[in-house]
Amino acid sequence: MRAKRVQVDYLVVYSLSRVSRVDSTSRDEDKQVQSAEDAARIRAVLRIAGTKLIDESGIKDPNTMAFEVEMMVGNAQHETIMRTTRAGKTSRLGRGQAAFGGKPPFGWARQLRNGRDRKDGYELVPHPKEVEVLHRILRWFVEGGLSHTVRMLAKHKIPTTRGHATWARNTVRKIIDKAGSYHHGVIEGVYNGRPYRIEAPSLISADLAAKVAAYRQDTTHDAGAVFLSSGYMRCAKCRGTVQNHRSLTRNYTRCDRCKLSVRTDLFDRRLADAISTRLIQIAIHARTTKKKQDDHTASLAAVDTKIADVVSRMSKLWKAYESGHLAQEVWVTRNDELKAEKLAYEMERTRVQADADEVRRRESTERGLLGRIEEIIDESMDATLERRREILADLLGGQRLTVAYERDPEGKIHAIVTLPAFGDLASMTYRTDARVAPQVWGKSERRHPLWSKVLDKVITHRLGEALERLYASV
């Protein structure tokens, strides 16, 4: 139309608002500018060409004032819908409910929480087909890395979730990055500037998760990196790798896909404070948390009894069908129901066994944890860069820091960093535009009895002075 090669009298559209809607809800200023320019360009071409629009309400003339008014009303309605949707999603994620607009993370399926409608939201359950593929992907990764995993997927002709024959490397990498979530049954992220945490069924054992973490730590992290955070970051928005870039004057911690960055010197300074704060959290947690004696033997025996009962019923059903007392259609239907019931019990047994393994592992590692934390805390204050990176690697346990970028009202960009969960200690999130310790503990923590107890019995005098410096602005 713009080249005047065709003359179009009428353009049929679903709705007038869909033709040149301005995206005013995006957090990216460049997208908002581009959207407004595209909308103005479309209206100008329609006016010059003399083309009228036909939507569900009739014929629209781009050269009239009514057309402009309807466009403004449509844009306002779209903006209201987007903000309401975003607020609802933020609220549900804040309550720990699954609020994924599309397909849930690989390995989980989404089902109604109350089994009837969406009033109570969704919950995540193991996907009956993807769980086995997940186990094979992680085992292949431990055997030979990412490229080996992609080759084995193609060799065994395992299709993607969309039915494609070839798996993209980035897709497989994202699945491997979630190994910690698959083990702990926790999905964490940042949406609309707020961190969220969703509980989900555990899909892999502690042993497999530990092997994946060990392989990643041995092969992906560069021990000779220049910066404290190098090799340990990923973007919360695009899930890509966040890297440190050198320049002639300054260094920047940047996500190349999102094109956002903060100064590396400030980012690493806050990260060093976060490491000390996290170590103190672990020390307090280890000293105040009572060990939970949980014997899983009875639970495992109960699940085994249920599985044996289902197998017995399947055997009786087959004998009835084989003797001619049961029609084939009835046998197929009941047998499929029993198979589904057996699979559910087997998944429950896997989860209980994983919990038992995790309890035994935690009990063995927590003995003497306090003494090792004392040494690490004391050492971390004056440690070399290489040693601090080793401490950070131990805290991450094969996972990565999650970095979300946010723009304040003045237009400055700062980062929101999340350290993953450490054992049964929840994840820790902080902002780089403020000191870390006050964000984690708040002003009242200095007067809490535990604080004096930790300073006196757990933390050395030198660290106590350093913490007082951290609290200087409180």
Structural domain ending residue among the three candidates 91, 124, 148? 91
Task: Check pLDDT > 60 for residue 213.
Answer: yes
| pLDDT for res 76 | 78
| pLDDT for res 204 | 92
pLDDT in tens, 265-283: 889 888 888 887 888 777 7
Instruction: Calculate the alpha carbon distances from 3 to 13, 47, 257 in Å.
Output: 21, 14, 34
Cβ atoms 137, 149 nearer than 8 A:
yes
Range of the domain at 43: 10-91
pLDDT in tens, 407-460: 888 888 999 999 988 777 888 999 998 888 788 876 544 444 444 444 443 344
| pLDDT for res 158 | 93
| pLDDT for res 392 | 84
- What total of structural domains would you count in the chain? 2
Higher pLDDT, 55 or 167: 167
> Is residue 421 one of the residues assigned to a domain?
no
> Is residue 41 one of the residues assigned to a domain?
yes
Task: Check pLDDT > 70 for residue 470.
Answer: no
| pLDDT for res 286 | 64
Average pLDDT over residues 207-228: 73
| pLDDT for res 446 | 45
Average pLDDT, the chain: 79
> Is residue 446 one of the residues assigned to a domain?
no
Average pLDDT over residues 103-132: 84
> Is residue 124 one of the residues assigned to a domain?
no
Confidence band of 132 (pLDDT split at 50, 70, 90): very high
Confidence band of 154 (pLDDT split at 50, 70, 90): very high
| pLDDT for res 471 | 39
| pLDDT for res 159 | 92
Task: Check pLDDT > 50 for residue 462.
Answer: no
> Is residue 120 one of the residues assigned to a domain?
no
> Is residue 321 one of the residues assigned to a domain?
yes
Task: Check pLDDT > 90 for residue 405.
Answer: yes
Confidence band of 373 (pLDDT split at 50, 70, 90): low
Average pLDDT over residues 230-247: 86
Q: Phi and psi at residue 184, in whole multiples of 5°?
A: -80, -15
Structural domain ending residue among the three candidates 45, 70, 91? 91
Average pLDDT over residues 349-367: 70
> Is residue 234 one of the residues assigned to a domain?
no
Higher pLDDT, 250 or 178: 178
| pLDDT for res 416 | 94
Structural domain ending residue among the three candidates 321, 340, 364? 364
| pLDDT for res 456 | 43
User: Residue 405, Cα to own-chain centre: how many angstroms?
Assistant: 15
Amino acid at 168: A
> Is residue 337 one of the residues assigned to a domain?
yes
